[in-house]
């Protein structure tokens, strides 16, 4: 990566990541720093700077698509967690997230949906704890 300055894509990606994934996205980028720093750049540039920044589909709908796909695949628990957070950040409600995940029982089977629901339960519980702590 011979990029003396940050490319437009990287800058746009950083902004999109912050808007969508919040702290969770930033943690992933940091965790890559000592093993594959270029991969953190690619992650900012392509998924966030390119794809999620495209105008043709609303961010809210992009997260609906991502939550559905990651639940159905069943191989991406940490990323599903991040994107349930992301969904809540861009206007998908808890009830809607539960609906999306339940629907995956039809397309990927009950185990995929069950595992997705228990991940959502964990994210919602973490959120509630944080909200409570901040209100003290």
Q: Which of 110, 126, 128, 130 binds a copy of itself (CB under 8 A)?
A: 110
Report helix, strand or coil for 36: coil
- Rule CB under 8 A: is residue 102 a binding residue for a copy of itself? yes
Stretch that binds a copy of itself, among 17-25, 58-66, 128-136 (CB under 8 A): 58-66
Q: How far is the CB of 32 from a copy of itself (least distance, A)?
A: 7
What number of other Cβ atoms are within 10 A of residue 34's Cβ? 7
Q: Render 112-136 in DSSP notation, one character per residue.
A: HHHHHHHHHHHHHHHHHHHHHHHH-
* Distant-in-sequence, close-in-space partners of 43: CB < 8 Å, separation ≥ 6: 13, 28, 29, 32
Treating both helix axes as pointing N-terminal to C-terminal, what angle do 77-89 and 23-32 enclose, rounded to 10 degrees? 140
- Rule CB under 8 A: is residue 128 a binding residue for a copy of itself? no
Q: Which of 68, 84, 86, 88 binds a copy of itself (CB under 8 A)?
A: 68
Residue ranges that bind a copy of itself, judged by CB under 8 A = 28, 31-32, 34-36, 38-39, 42-43, 46-47, 50-52, 54, 56-57, 61-62, 64-76, 78-79, 95-96, 98-115, 117-118, 120-121, 124
């Amino acid at each position: 990566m011979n990029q003396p300055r940050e490319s437009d894509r990287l800058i746009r990606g950083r902004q999109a990541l912050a808007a969508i994934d919040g702290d969770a996205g930033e943690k992933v980028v940091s965790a890559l720093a000592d093993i594959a720093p270029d991969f953190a750049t690619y992650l900012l540039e392509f998924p966030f700077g390119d794809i999620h920044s495209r105008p043709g589909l609303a961010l809210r709908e992009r997260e609906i698509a991502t939550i559905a796909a990651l639940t159905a695949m069943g191989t991406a628990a940490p990323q599903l967690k991040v994107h349930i957070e992301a969904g809540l950040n861009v206007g998908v409600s808890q009830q809607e997230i539960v609906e999306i995940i339940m629907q995956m029982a039809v397309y990927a089977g009950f185990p995929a949906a069950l595992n997705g629901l228990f991940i959502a339960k964990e994210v919602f519980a973490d959120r509630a704890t944080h909200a409570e702590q901040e209100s003290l």
